[in-house]
Amino acid sequence: MTEGRRTPVFGPLAGLRVVDFTVALSGAYSTMLLADLGAEVIKVESLQHYSSPTRGARAVARDADQIVLRAYPDMDPGADPWNRWSSFNSHARNKLAITLDVSRQRGRDLFLRLLQVSDGLIENNVAGRMEQLGLDPGSLLAGNTRLIVVRMPALGLSGPDHRTIGFGWHFEELGGALEVQGYPDGPPVGSIFMDASSGPAGASAFLMALIERERTGRGQVIELAQIENMINHYGEIVLEAAMTGSVPRRWGNRHPRCAPQGVYPCRGADTWVALSVRDDRDWAALRALVGDPPELRRPEFDTLAGRVAAHDEIDSAVSRWTRSHTKEEAFHALQKAGVPAGPVLDEEDAFADPHLQERGFFQLLEHQSAGVHFHAGPNFNMAATPLRVWRAAPVLGQDNDYVYREILGIDDDEYQDLVADGQIGSAYP
C-alpha cells in the first residue's frame, strides 16, 4: 500500500499507486479504468516532448476548422488548448498529473524514484522507446521488485515488424480487422476497435499480476501485444479463414445468420433504427408489425436462405414502415413484438436518453480550464466497494506539488531548481 496518498479512499484498488506513462487512447483507457477502481494514477508528461495524440494540439487558431473546434468546450480552444481537449479530459478523469522529462538523466532518476513507491507502471509507447530512454525492464524493477509493469506495444516486443509505428487503425489492418469492416461493394472501413479492446485488456493484465503478487510477493513485466488481443475478438472469422482458405466478406450492416438485419430510415431527417431478425419467430413478428404486406408473404421468405437472397426487397418493405415512425416509436414497437432493435442515437441523444438519465450514468465534474460538464460514469457498479468519478481530468502539471514534495520528499530549493531545469511546470514553453 502506498503512503502520502491524495486520492480519496474508495473502490477495490484503494491504496495502490500506478504511474501512467501512456499515449493516445489504449493505454490511457487502461489507466482510467484503474483510477475508476480507486487506484491513485499519476500521469507523467514532459514539457519538452509534446505528445499530441494524448493532449490535443499545443496551439489552435480560433478560426480553425469546425471539426477541430468541436473538441473544445464552447468551440473555444482558449489560451491553453492542451488543457481543454475533450479526448484527454474524458479518459484522464480521476487521475493526477505531473511534468517530468525522462529523456534527461535527472528526470529519469526522479521517474525511477517514483516507481520505487508505486505498485504499477502502464505504458503503450512504440516498441523500443522505453529502452531508448534507459527504462528497460531491469532498470524499472531494480528498485522495486513488487512493481507490476504493463507494456502495450501495438505488435509486441519481438518479431520482424515489432517497431512499426502508426495509429490503431493501421494495426487493425495488419490484423485483418479492416477487411471485414465495410459494405460489400465498398472499401474497408477503419475504426478505433484496437484501442477500445486494448484498454480493458491492459487493466485486466495489471489485475491478474496483482493477484499473482499477493501469492508470491513479487511484481513482473507483462507484454500485451495489442494486435494479438484484438484478433481474439474476432477469432471465429480467423478460424474460418484458416479452415476453409476463404476470404471473409464485408457484410456492412447485414449478417449471414440474421435476415433481415440493418439500419432503417425513420421519420425525420437522418434518423434511424437498427433491427435484427434472428429466426422464423422474429420474422413472423416483424411481418405482422409492418402490416403483413403481400410482397413479404412469399413462401421462400419463411427460411433464412430465402430472406438473405431477397434482402434488398425485404428492406424496401420494412423501410416503408419505419419511415412512418420516429426512431423511438419504431424501437419500442419492435421491442414489444420481441424483435431485437434499438434507435440510432448521436451523442446528444445518448446524453438525453431517459434510461441513462434515470440510472444517473452521466456525472457532473468541474474542470479547472474547461468548466463544468457532464462526463460518462464508471463502466460498472460494485455493491460493496462503489466506484466514483470524483475528479475532472488534471490540467498540465496540476499535481506537481503533491507528488514532488509529499511523495518524493523534494525540498523547496530542489523544487525551484527543477522548475528552472524545465522538469516542473504548468504550461508548454
Give the separation between CA 261 and CA 275, rounded to whole angstroms.
Answer: 6
Pick the CATH number of 17-233+362-420 from 3.20.20.140, 3.30.200.20, 3.50.50.60, 3.40.50.10540: 3.40.50.10540
260: cis peptide before it, omega within 30°? yes
- Domain ranges in the chain with CATH number 3.40.50.10540: 17-233+362-420
pLDDT band at 179 (very low <50, low <70, confident <90, very high): confident
Q: What is the mean pLDDT of the chain?
A: 93
Residues 6 or more apart whose CB falls under 8 angstroms from that of 131 comprise: none
Cell of 53: 495524440
Give the separation between CA 223 and CA 123, rounded to whole angstroms.
Answer: 10
Segment holding 150, helix H or strand E = strand 148-151
φ, ψ for residue 320 (rounded to 5)? -60, -40
Cell of 392: 475532472
Torsion of CA 168, 30, 35, 78, to 10 degrees: -10
Tracing cell 416503408 back to the chain, one arrives at: 320
pLDDT band at 4 (very low <50, low <70, confident <90, very high): very low
Exposure string of 64-91, with b = 16+ CB inside 10 Å and e = fewer, is beeeebebbbeeebeebbbbbbbbbbbb
Give the separation between CA 185 and CA 45, rounded to whole angstroms.
Answer: 44
The string of DSSP letters for 69-124 reads HTTSGGG---S-HHHH-HHHHHHTTT-EEEE--TTSHHHHHHHHHHHHT-SEEEE-
Give the separation between CA 117 and CA 138, rounded to whole angstroms.
Answer: 17
Pick the CATH number of 261-348 from 3.30.1540.10, 3.40.50.720, 3.40.50.300, 1.10.10.10: 3.30.1540.10
- Domain ranges in the chain with CATH number 3.30.1540.10: 261-348
Q: What is the pLDDT of residue 51?
A: 66
Statement: residue 348 has pLDDT above 80? yes
Residues 6 or more apart whose CB falls under 8 angstroms from that of 23 comprise: 51, 53, 54, 124, 125
Q: What is the pLDDT of residue 2?
A: 43
Q: What are the Cα distances from residue 325, in Å, to 99, 267, 282, 291?
A: 54, 5, 20, 13
pTM confidence score: 0.93
Statement: residue 1 has pLDDT above 70? no
Q: Read off the pLDDT of residues 252-304 as tens digits, 9 standing for 90 and up.
A: 999 999 999 999 999 999 999 999 999 999 999 999 999 999 999 999 999 99
In the chain, how long is the greatest CA-to-CA distance? 86
Segment holding 19, helix H or strand E = strand 17-21
Q: What is the pLDDT of residue 3?
A: 43
pLDDT band at 189 (very low <50, low <70, confident <90, very high): confident
The secondary structure of 398-421, three-state, reads: CCHHHHHHHHCCCCHHHHHHHHHC
| Mean pLDDT, residues 179-199 | 88
The string of DSSP letters for 235-261 reads HHHHHHHHHH-PPPPP-TT-BTTBSSE
Q: Read off the pLDDT of residues 31-62 as tens digits, 9 standing for 90 and up.
A: 999 999 999 999 999 999 876 677 888 888 87
In percent, the amount of the chain with pLDDT more than 90 equals 80
Residues 6 or more apart whose CB falls under 8 angstroms from that of 426 comprise: 99, 395, 396, 397, 398, 400
Q: What is the pLDDT of residue 300?
A: 96
Give the separation between CA 282 and CA 257, rounded to whole angstroms.
Answer: 13
Q: HSE-up of 295 (CA within 13 Å, CB side)?
A: 11
Residues 6 or more apart whose CB falls under 8 angstroms from that of 353 comprise: 345
Q: What is the pLDDT of residue 5?
A: 53
Statement: residue 152 has pLDDT above 70? yes
Statement: residue 416 has pLDDT above 50? yes
Q: Read off the pLDDT of residues 70-120 as tens digits, 9 standing for 90 and up.
A: 899 999 999 999 999 999 999 999 999 999 999 999 999 999 999 999 999
Q: What is the pLDDT of residue 80?
A: 95
Give the separation between CA 402 and CA 405, rounded to whole angstroms.
Answer: 6
